[in-house]
Amino acid sequence: MSREYRVAVVGATGAVGMAMRTILAERRFPVKELVPLASARSAGKPLDFAGETVLCRELTGHSFDGVDLALFSAGAGTSLDYAPVARDAGCVVIDNSSAWRMDPQVPLVVPEVNPEDVAWHKGIIANPNCSTIQMVVVMKPLHGEARITRVVVSTYQAVSGTGAEAIDELVRQSDDILAGKGPQISVYPHQIAFNCLPHIDVFLEDGSTKEEQKMVDETKKILGDPSIKVSATCVRVPVRNGHSESVNLEFATPMSPERAREILSRAPGVLLADDPATNTYPMPIVASGKDETYVGRVRRDPTVANGLNLWVVADNLRKGAALNAVQIGELLVERDLIRVP
C-alpha cells in the first residue's frame, strides 16, 4: 500500500494557500489528512479540500506535531519563526517565502530544472520567486544546449502576486475611475488601475528593488552557474493574474530561433505558443489557470553575436507558487525523502 501523509498548509486562507489546497486535490497528492493553518482570526473558518470541509486551525508552536509535510505560503517572518519549529518536529517544509532561498544549507528547487537538489535537504526546501520560476523553466533546456552567459529580463507582474487585497483594489479602482470617481489607494503607493508601477518590494541602496535582486541571485543558484549575468527590471501591471516577461538571452555559442523553438517544444513544463501569422503568442488570460509556462515571440537579437528574445508567461499563483511547491512535494514522495515516523 502506498503511503499517505499528514500535510499542513500554512497560510491556508490566502491566495497561494487556496491554490495549494486546490492543486493538492487536483493532482491527487497522497494526503491522509490536511491540516490548514493560519492566524488566530481565521481559526475555525470552514475551508474546502477535495470536496470536503475542513476547519482552519490557529498556527502555534505545536501545530506540526504528527505532520509529515508542510507547505508554507505565509510571509518571510512567519517562515523564519515557524519553519524551524516544523523541521524540528520531524516535518519537511516547502517554503514559498524569501526567507530561506539564499541559505546555502537550503535547496532552492524548480522540479523541471534542478530536481536532484531535493536530495540534500535538511528539513527545509525553498520555493523560488514567482518570476524566477517561469524564467528558469524556459532557460534550463536552452542553457543545456548552448550556455547562457547573460540575461536581461523585464517583468510585467499581475496584482495577484501581492494577494487578494490587491486584486480587490484593482477592481475597485477600475470601477471608480470608469464611474468618474477618484481611486482610493491603499495596497500600492500609487494607483494601479490603468497604470504601471516599476516598483515591486523595497528599494535597495543601488536603486534596484528586492524583487529584481531576487531574480539575479535565485537564477544563479537554481541553474548552478554563478557566472551568468542577470539584469532585471520588475514592474507591477493592472492584470489580475499571470506574470509576463520579456527575456533577452545571450549565449556563448550560436543558438538559432529555429533550434530554440525545437528545444522548447520538447521541454518539460513548457508550452510553445509562437505563430505570429495567426496572432499566436503567450498572454496572461491564456496562461491563467494553467500549469504550463508559455513561451513565444522567439526571435534573433541582431544587436549581439548570439542573442535571442523571448516572451514568457505563466500563472504566478500556480507554477509561480503553489504548483511548484506541490511538485517539490511529489519529488519527495517519489524519492522517499519525507521522513515518516
The pLDDT of residue 341 is above 60? no
What is the length of the chain? 341
Average pLDDT estimate for 1-22: 93
Is 143 among the catalytic positions?
no
Is 130 among the catalytic positions?
yes
Domains 5-128+321-334 and 132-315 share a fold: no
pTM reported for the whole predicted model: 0.96
Q: Do 323 and 23 contact (CB within 8 A), yes or no?
A: yes
DSSP string across 55-96:
E-EE--TTTTTT-SEEEE-S-HHHHHHHHHHHHHTT-EEEE-
> Residue 231 forms beta bridges with which residues?
152
Which residue in the block uniquely carries the three cell numbers 535537504?
Answer: 121
Determine the Cα–Cα distance for residues 196 and 301; give it in Å rounded to an integer. Answer: 26
Residue 65, CA distances (Å) to 55, 214, 248, 338 in order: 17, 33, 47, 15
CATH architecture of 5-128+321-334: 3-Layer(aba) Sandwich (3.40)
Average pLDDT estimate for 35-49: 96
Looking at residue 109, its amino acid is V
What is the residue extent of each domain of the chain?
Answer: 5-128+321-334, 132-315
Catalytic residue among 56, 91, 130, 234: 130
The pLDDT of residue 1 is above 50? no
Q: Do 263 and 142 contact (CB within 8 A), yes or no?
A: yes
Q: At what angle do helices 323-334 and 15-26 cross, to 10 degrees?
A: 40
The pLDDT of residue 340 is above 90? no
E-assigned strand segments in the chain:
5-10, 31-38, 46-49, 52-55, 57-58, 69-72, 92-95, 124-126, 148-157, 229-236, 243-251, 270-272, 293-301, 307-314
The class (CATH top level) of 132-315 is alpha beta
Average pLDDT of the chain? Answer: 97
* Residue (of 152, 148, 173, 111) closest to 331 by Cα position: 111
Burial class (CB in 10 A: 0-12, 13-18, 19+), 283: middle
The pLDDT of residue 120 is above 80? yes
The pLDDT of residue 275 is above 90? yes
The pLDDT of residue 302 is above 60? yes
